């Protein structure tokens, strides 16, 4: 379990993380979301004691990172896959890590096997593709067989097979009772992987909730109905006090009613339906809706450089468009 309490980080005038209080629990994958510059990497670095908080605390299984006897056996992390000594082979990179952390060398072969790098174990890491580098970083995170795992953008550079693999790996680690904390900008991937979400914007906590609650609370859901007797269907709905809004393709959209009720109503009036489909918003829509006011870096849609306006989009050029 990872507990944050009032975690705050200030860089000069910039409040990168602003009083974060939340708990990352074991037995599930927790997704960590936020627009660019929201403070995700800074938070993860503070969790791993790579950066000092301005105030507030992080506790890993009840202790500060510095109090952990053998940190790699408690918490494994993939933060920056490029932070590897490129001159070493994958095997030697992991062996050095294992030896300096009192981990048996046998474990090196095990994790190489888990991440599928055994065939290239003796090759120098500097010749690795982005995806292979990610796999090596994941192998390092797994080396100490820790109960807590943190991954910052783990699917970066992975091909579809690799993305599928890491999704299953994270789910299986969580199913073993481990704490799995993962950040990603790939919403569709996050929707398939995470059970719980922690969302931040401009360093502040915006949501700490289950995936399904998050989508339900931050999106509009409705039922689409399509019938060859559209006019009559609309009259029947209206007679039952239900407002239906026509969609561009001739279907009707009904808010605030469940599909079962609407289907039964149509059946009672012997109205043929060609479609009766509950529409649930995607995680991406819900995320965009929640974070709309907390997006820090905006690109302007018409490609032409435009002087930044005042307000929360003013410094978008900092990270390039």
Binding site for ligand ATP (CB under 6 A): 11, 14, 16, 34, 36-42
- 84 touches 125 (CB < 8 A): yes
Residue 41 or 179: the one with the smaller Cβ distance to ligand ATP is 41
- Pairwise CA distance, residues 306 & 303, whole Å: 9
Strands 222-226 and 204-210: unpaired
Residue 43 or 147: the one with the smaller Cβ distance to ligand ATP is 43
Nearest-approach distance from CB 37 to ligand ATP, in angstroms:
4
Give me Rg for the CA atoms of the chain.
24
Q: Which residue has the tokens 């494994």?
A: 76
Cα–Cα nearest to 197, from 214, 176, 220, 219: 214
Nearest-approach distance from CB 65 to ligand ATP, in angstroms:
18
Nearest-approach distance from CB 319 to ligand ATP, in angstroms:
7
Residue 40 or 167: the one with the smaller Cβ distance to ligand ATP is 40
- 252 touches 279 (CB < 8 A): no
Nearest-approach distance from CB 38 to ligand ATP, in angstroms:
4
Nearest-approach distance from CB 198 to ligand ATP, in angstroms:
12
Nearest-approach distance from CB 20 to ligand ATP, in angstroms:
11
Residue 21 or 172: the one with the smaller Cβ distance to ligand ATP is 21
- Pairwise CA distance, residues 94 & 116, whole Å: 14
Residue 37 or 162: the one with the smaller Cβ distance to ligand ATP is 37
- Pairwise CA distance, residues 282 & 191, whole Å: 8
How many CB atoms are closer than 10 A to CB 64?
11
Residue 234 or 298: the one with the smaller Cβ distance to ligand ATP is 298
- Pairwise CA distance, residues 191 & 216, whole Å: 13
């Amino acid at each position: 379990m990872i507990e944050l309490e009032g975690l705050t980080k200030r860089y000069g005038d910039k409040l990168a993380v602003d009083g974060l209080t939340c708990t990352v629990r074991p037995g599930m994958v927790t997704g960590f979301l936020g627009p660019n510059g929201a403070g995700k990497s800074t938070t993860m670095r503070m969790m791993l004691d790579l950066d000092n908080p301005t105030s507030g605390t992080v506790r890993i299984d009840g202790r500060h990172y510095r109090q952990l006897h053998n940190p790699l056996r408690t918490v494994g992390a993939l933060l920056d896959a490029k932070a590897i000594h490129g001159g070493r082979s994958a095997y030697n990179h992991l062996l050095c890590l294992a030896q300096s952390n009192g981990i048996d060398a046998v474990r090196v072969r095990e994790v190489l096997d888990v991440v599928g790098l055994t065939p290239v174990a003796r090759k120098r890491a500097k010749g690795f593709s982005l995806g292979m580098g990610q796999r090596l970083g994941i192998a390092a995170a797994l080396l100490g067989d820790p109960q807590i795992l943190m991954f910052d953008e783990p699917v970066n550079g992975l091909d579809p097979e690799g993305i599928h693999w890491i999704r299953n790996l994270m789910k299986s680690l969580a199913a073993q009772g481990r704490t799995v904390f993962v950040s990603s900008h790939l919403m569709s991937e996050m929707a398939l992987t995470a059970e719980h979400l922690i969302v931040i914007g401009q360093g502040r906590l915006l949501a700490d909730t289950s995936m399904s609650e998050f989508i339900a609370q931050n999106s509009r859901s409705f039922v689409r109905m399509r019938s060859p007797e559209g006019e009559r269907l609309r009259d029947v709905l209206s007679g039952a006090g239900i407002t239906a809004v026509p969609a561009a393709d001739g279907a009707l959209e009904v808010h605030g009613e469940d599909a079962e009720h609407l289907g039964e109503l149509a059946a009672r009036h012997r109205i043929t339906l060609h479609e009766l489909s509950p529409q649930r918003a995607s995680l991406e829509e819900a995320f965009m809706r929640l974070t709309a006011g907390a997006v820090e870096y905006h690109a302007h849609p018409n490609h032409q450089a435009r002087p930044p306006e005042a307000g929360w989009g003013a410094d978008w050029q900092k990270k390039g468009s």
